[in-house]
Amino acid sequence: MPGLQSHNRRAASGNLRRMPRSRKRHRGLIGLLALSLIAVTHARGGFHVDGAAGETGLDIGGRLQFRYTATASPETPNDDGAYGFSFRRLRLYFDYRIGDLHTIVKLGSPDIDGVKLIEAFATKKFGEDWTISGGQIRLAFNREMWVSSKRQLAVDRTSIANNINAGRSDKIHGVEFKYEAEPVRVFFTLGEGVDSDGKTFNGPGSEWSVTVRGEILLVGDNFKQFKQYTAPRGTKPGLLLGAAAHVQHTPDAGERFAWTADLGYQASGFNAMIMSGGHTAEDRNAAGEPESLFGVAGHVGFYVADDVEPFARYEWGTASDGADLNVATVGVNWYIAGQALKMTVDAGVAFGGVGPAFNRNSDGLLEATGTRYLLRGQVQMLF
């Protein structure tokens, strides 16, 4: 993890080491920061241009997450702890509109390792209820992965959310059909499988995939309020139930199946969520993931002031490879200017260690054979 200093270069994760500060590595960071400054100087909250008669338009925005991470596992041999600062995410997005047709491109510089294409797709609404999107898109499967990283409750997502997918990614090359008529919303996606992002048409990986996700509002009538986890004071009550299934075929690895279900509740100054899910694979070695994995996670947050929100989170998981996961996290959000300027601090304990199926190096949850302790602080800026 670039920017994370380690007192032990032979830590359990096997790849904790100081990264060289080369000019090439920082080109992506410099370019993104330059574009970010241009956007900020033109308008507060992003840069917007309207075409003739308002039929066309261009929006430019971005995100910066600067983080401090400290982690240690005293019970793990040769682990003396690691700590340091890092830019966890630097993102820019471009949304070009022609009527109701949107072309969206999202660029990022994860871990300051060069600019990467995050998403690139076109989306168009047909009638009142149907929308079709195609390109490199975020898969509508696991709700916690689907909620943007800029709208999470803790510093970052749970390990369970990151790993119950059929692969360690939530991007896919494919076409998504969405039907929405409150209180029901359904997504149907045909694609090339999780981890197909960035590959060529004949590159290695899955040949096909099918994903279905359904949601229903049991309380309330506003899907948009569930685009984020937090529920500021004044939020109307809402209860959202969702479930999804995913299957994909990979040559030499066979079929992989994943499923998930979640329930989220929001009211004035209070939010709660519980989710579960898992995946199975025919051939672990060919797919590069455990043959089976299952986990549950939940969190609760409540406002003690108009801009201060303590929260607590718990996650548990088991996999066919390595130790189970058992993590408790507590923290607090300070919404200085809503999500646009937010500070988050959280502390977690992974009881009994972190197995290879659940390690999240970029988030500080490093592999360990003994209990791991984690402290993180993050500043988020949106523009």
Q: Are 139 and 189 in contact (CB under 8 A)?
A: yes
Q: Are 160 and 325 in contact (CB under 8 A)?
A: yes
Q: In the prediction, which pLDDT does 77 show? A: 94
- Model pTM? 0.85
| Of 119, 94, 90, residue with least CA distance to 27 | 90
Tell me the percentage of the chain whose pLDDT exceeds 70. Answer: 79
Q: Which residues contact 112 (CB under 8 A, 6 or more apart)?
A: 2, 3, 25, 26, 28, 29, 86, 87, 90
Q: In the prediction, which pLDDT does 165 show? A: 74
pLDDT in tens, 287-334: 456 678 999 999 999 999 999 999 999 999 999 878 899 999 999 999
Q: In the prediction, which pLDDT does 249 show? A: 84
- Give the C-alpha separation, 170 to 139, whole Å: 6
Q: In the prediction, which pLDDT does 23 show? A: 47
Q: Are 207 and 199 in contact (CB under 8 A)?
A: no
Judged by DSSP in three states, 363 sits in helix
Question: Vertex 106, ends 359 and 243: CA angle to 5°?
Answer: 55
Strand partners, 334: 308, 343
Q: In the prediction, which pLDDT does 1 show? A: 40
- For the chain, what is the radius of gyration of the CA atoms? 21
Q: In the prediction, which pLDDT does 255 show? A: 82
Specify the DSSP class assigned to residue 236: P
Q: Where are the beta strands (DSSP E) in the chain?
A: 4-6, 47-50, 56-72, 82-98, 101-108, 116-126, 130-138, 171-181, 184-191, 208-219, 238-250, 254-267, 270-281, 292-302, 308-319, 325-339, 341-350, 372-382
Q: In the prediction, which pLDDT does 48 show? A: 81
The torsion angles phi and psi of 230, rounded to 5 degrees, stand at -65, 155
Pull the structure tokens for residue 104: 């969206």
Q: Provide the CA 50 distance to its chain's centre, in angstroms.
A: 31
Amino acid at 168: R
Place of tokens 């075409």: 51
Q: In the prediction, which pLDDT does 110 show? A: 56
CA distances from 212 to 107, 142, 242 (A): 27, 11, 11
Amino acid at 372: R
Strand partners, 87: 66
Amino acid at 223: F
Q: Are 346 and 309 in contact (CB under 8 A)?
A: no
Other Cβ atoms closer than 10 A to 61? 20
Q: In the prediction, which pLDDT does 7 show? A: 37
CA distances from 64 to 11, 103, 123, 201 (A): 28, 22, 25, 32
Q: Provide the CA 288 distance to its chain's centre, in angstroms.
A: 20
- Give the C-alpha separation, 105 to 91, whole Å: 11
| Of 216, 231, 227, residue with least CA distance to 147 | 227
Q: In the prediction, which pLDDT does 82 show? A: 95
Judged by DSSP in three states, 167 sits in coil
Question: Vertex 344, ends 109 and 237: CA angle to 5°?
Answer: 105
Provide the residue ranges of all domains of the chain, joining segments of one domain with +. Answer: 127-287
Q: In the prediction, which pLDDT does 157 show? A: 95
Length of the chain: 383
The list of the chain residues with pLDDT below 70 reads 1-46, 52-53, 110-114, 166-169, 195-205, 252-253, 282-290
Residue 232, CB-side half-sphere exposure with 13 Å CA sphere:
11
pLDDT in tens, 210-264: 999 999 999 999 999 999 999 999 999 999 999 999 998 877 667 889 999 999 9
